[in-house]
Amino acid sequence: MTLADRLELRQGLDLVLLAALTLPITVVAQDPIRSAVGIVVATAGVFGQRIRRSASFWWLAAIGYSLWYWVDWRQLDNHMWLLALWLLAVATSLAADQPLDALARQARILMALVFAAALVWKLRSPDFLSGAFFEFTLLTDPRFEPLARLAGVDPASLLGNRLSLASGPASATLIGASTVREVAMLLTWGTVFVEGSLLACWSIPRISPAIRHATLAVFCVTAYAIAPVAGFGLILLAMGTATTRTDRGRRNYLIGMAALFVWSLFWTAVVL
So where are the chain's domains? 3-270
- pTM metric for this prediction: 0.84
Is the pLDDT at 174 greater than 60, yes or no? Answer: yes
Radius of gyration, CA atoms only, the chain: 20
- The pLDDT, as a whole number, for residue 170 is 54
Q: Which tens digits make up the pLDDT trace of 180-236?
A: 888 889 999 999 999 999 999 999 888 888 999 999 998 888 888 777 677 788 999
- The pLDDT, as a whole number, for residue 83 is 87
Share of the chain above pLDDT 70, in %: 87
- The pLDDT, as a whole number, for residue 272 is 56
46-55, 73-82, 145-154, 240-249: segment of lowest average pLDDT: 73-82
Q: Are 143 and 226 in contact (CB under 8 A)?
A: yes
Chain length of the chain: 272
Is the pLDDT at 139 greater than 70, yes or no? Answer: yes
Q: Is the dihedral of CA 199, 202, 206, 208 positive or negative?
A: positive
Q: Is the dihedral of CA 110, 125, 214, 232 positive or negative?
A: negative
Inter-CA distances, 11 with 15, 16, 163, 257, 268, Å: 6, 9, 52, 19, 34
Half-sphere exposure of 224 (CA within 13 A, CB side): 27
104-108, 142-146, 167-171, 246-250: segment of lowest average pLDDT: 167-171
- The pLDDT, as a whole number, for residue 74 is 62
Q: What is the mean pLDDT of residues 242-270?
A: 86
Q: Is the dihedral of CA 113, 118, 121, 124 positive or negative?
A: negative
Quick one: DSSP state of residue 97?
A: S
- The pLDDT, as a whole number, for residue 173 is 65
Q: What is the mean pLDDT of residues 244-272?
A: 83
Q: Which tens digits make up the pLDDT trace of 44-85?
A: 888 888 888 899 999 988 888 888 777 766 656 677 788 889
Is the pLDDT at 271 greater than 70, yes or no? Answer: no
Q: Which tens digits make up the pLDDT trace of 4-14?
A: 344 445 678 88
Mean pLDDT over each residue of the chain, to the nearest integer = 83
Q: Which of 9, 247, 243, 207 shows the shortest CA–CA distance to 104? A: 243
DSSP reduced 3-state for 111:
helix
Angle at the Cα of 211 (from 206 to 217), degrees rounded to 5? 140
119-123, 150-154, 187-191, 244-248: segment of lowest average pLDDT: 150-154
Share of the chain above pLDDT 90, in %: 29
Decide which of 116 and 163 is more confident.
116
Q: What is the mean pLDDT of residues 25-44?
A: 78
Inter-CA distances, 235 with 131, 179, 260, Å: 28, 34, 11
Q: How many CB atoms lie within 10 A of CB 67?
A: 10
Q: What is the mean pLDDT of residues 156-171?
A: 71
